[in-house]
Amino acid sequence: MRILGIDPGTRTVGYGVIDFDGNSVRAIDYGVIEAKHIDGYAERFAYIHEELRRIILENRPEVAAIEEVFTSKALKRSIEIGEGRGVAILTSALAGLQVESYSVKTVKKSVVGNGNAAKSQVQKMTKILLALDSIPKPDDAADALAIAICHSHRCRVNPLIARLDRGAHGR
């Protein structure tokens, strides 16, 4: 199964594509969509949509795993991330992908074993689990890979989910 992990945002969107064979995971592609240079809000969303669409077409994932918005004291920031998340969900849905959501705590618990793990611990475990030479950079890309790994763990725990995912897309 090919999984696209997405760390949503409105200026920087992390993405990570992994293959999961039921036992192991392997990194296929990862990076960030940088939209900081685009001034208009709507134009940034259109750019993120187009770039995410290109990544989906190039990598042909079967499912998108997207991080949920966490509420913080910075309400405006949470709303912006939510708007960016909406673009990622819509783009994935329009591409015919199944979309799954995971909280930050769920991702951390899945990858590190502790829902309160530090970001650096998640990054180190992502490197180890994917047998990479170094921690994926930038941080948003590492986070997106961790989100994809989280979904693979869900499928490992519940093989029926993995079979249903593949059956829905004919793979």
* 8 vs 149: CA distance, rounded Å: 16
Q: What is the DSSP letter of 129?
A: H
Q: Count CA within 13 A, CB hemisphere, residue 168.
A: 14
Q: Are 99 and 64 in contact (CB under 8 A)?
A: yes
51 is catalytic: no
Q: Is the pLDDT of residue 71 over 80?
A: no
Q: Is the pLDDT of residue 157 over 70?
A: no
pTM, two decimal places: 0.88
140 is catalytic: yes
39 is catalytic: no
**10-51 pLDDT, tens digit each:** 899 999 999 998 888 999 999 999 999 999 989 999 999 999
Marked catalytic residue, from 51, 140, 143, 165: 140
Which of 92, 70, 63, 72 has its CA nearest to residue 150? 63
Single-letter residue type at 1: M
Q: Are 17 and 30 in contact (CB under 8 A)?
A: yes
Marked catalytic residue, from 51, 67, 100, 143: 67
